[in-house]
Amino acid sequence: MEKYVGQSLPSNKVKPATPVSLLNIISLLIICLNMETFGFDVVETARILRRDFDRRAAALGATRAQWRVLARLSRRDGMRQVDIADDLDVEPITLCRMVDRLEEAGLVERRKDEEDRRAWRIHLTDKARPVLAELQDIGIAMHRDALAGISPEERRQALSVMARIRDNLSKGGAGAVRKAI
């Protein structure tokens, strides 16, 4: 945190803090001051990975959110729209707009769910396959560059630690946030 002390946002971007947002900021600062920077480092690394992927994929012309939908469908084609929204942690209406754009581009198609007439299943089209192949190539190159100089053993250890952290937090273990009284 010391490297950020004294820095401020440009005055045209500063918004007055509401009591709730100020409380959230203070809470986060208290947590951050009493903890290692691990969480910050994970988030910052993920942000840089996303930015780098966006830069590399810009020539293909879709948003990161749309690529996430395509990538999810490449693993499980024909998912229900509501399940995709849940997996990607977005609101169903937000996903609906993403699917609308992908459908307009001819990359996906909606089909009625045979088991639930209120639901839609989303399927990749043949036009999406070469786009996904390009995205995969971009991802492979990005990961190769990101992991340069990191041994296979270090990679396995990092993945193992991340899996244990996810497991700890998903089970509501010792590291889970408890409800305020």
Nearest-10 crossing angle of helices 92-104, 64-75: 90
Domains and CATH numbers, the chain: 2-170 (1.10.10.10)
Q: Which pLDDT value is given to residue 74?
A: 94
Please identify which residue in the block is written with the tokens 């690529």: 67
Q: Which two tokens stand for residue 38?
A: 């691990």
Low-confidence ranges of the chain (pLDDT < 50): 1-19, 175-181
**Cα–Cα dist 93/99, whole Å:** 10
| pTM for the model | 0.62
DSSP states along 18-73? PHHHHHHHHHHHHHHHTS-SHHHHHHHHHHHHHHHHHHHHGGG---HHHHHHHHHH
Note the pLDDT tens digit of each residue in 27-59.
Answer: 666 565 555 677 778 888 888 988 998 888 888
Q: Which pLDDT value is given to residue 61?
A: 79
